[in-house]
Amino acid sequence: MTPAPDQTLLLSLLGAGFATAFLHAALPTHWLPFVLVGRAQRWTLQRVMAAVVAAGLTHVAVTAMVGGLIVVAGLALDQWIAGLLPHLSAVLLFAFGGFYLVRSVVRRPQLAGGPSLEMSGPAVSHAAAFWALVATMAISPGEVLLPFYLNQAQGGVAVLAALTVVFAAGTVLGMALFTGLARAGWSVLRLERWARYEGAVLGLALIAVGLLVVLYQP
């Protein structure tokens, strides 16, 4: 029988997961395309937010599917090497954290960092624009969220489902917030000036979670 997870550690990881998903949603590729396409299509705020929610949930669903595959592979491997999963997840957290820290130092975020979605000429059909936004998010699972699934692989389906719900809430809330702020007239340059520190904050947060995983090992 799967042992019950420590409640304090579980709540800490869920909180860290929510914060990581929210910070990851601050990347311009998670909200800027919705602002540009919405303006080109002359969408109402309700239609833009519908696209944000659909794309965000699809993004998390694909991430959960990839995370599930990692969990299955990890559990099979753990039958041969006891205690590998927590240490492997910590290594991945450190690796992703270090990656984002280094990237934040050597490369400044650019407004055109994601797929080019600027509309030239007549606007495409609303359905085509809507599903193009959803597809853009679907083909890029949130790689920074995957170590959380691996860390809780032995926690059972309920824990993995809770992680997925938390990721969905953080991702959709973050995407909706930044899309709404930009659409409401906030200067994109101001958001970009804040977003240049997003990589450093996200990297430090992932490293902190990795340390938490290591410290709480029995």
Residue with tokens 């030239």: 120
Residue 6: pLDDT band with limits 50, 70, 90: low
Residue 2, pLDDT > 60, answer no
Structure confidence by residue, pLDDT tens digits, 134-155: 988 887 778 778 778 877 777 7
More confident residue, 4 or 201: 201
More confident residue, 8 or 60: 60
Structure confidence by residue, pLDDT tens digits, 104-118: 777 654 444 444 444
Residue 213, pLDDT > 90, answer no
Retrieve residue 59's tokens. Answer: 């993004």
Which class for 63: exposed (0-12), middle (13-18), buried (19 or more C-beta within 10 A)? buried
CA-wise closest residue to 74 among 152, 180, 164? 152
CA distance 75 to 150: 9
Please give the average per-residue pLDDT across 25-29, as a whole number.
81
- Tally DSSP H helices, then E strands, for the chain: 9, 0
Encode burial over 94-118: b for 16+ CB neighbours within 10 A, e otherwise.
Answer: bebbebbbeebeeeebeeeebeebe
Q: What's the chain's average pLDDT?
A: 75
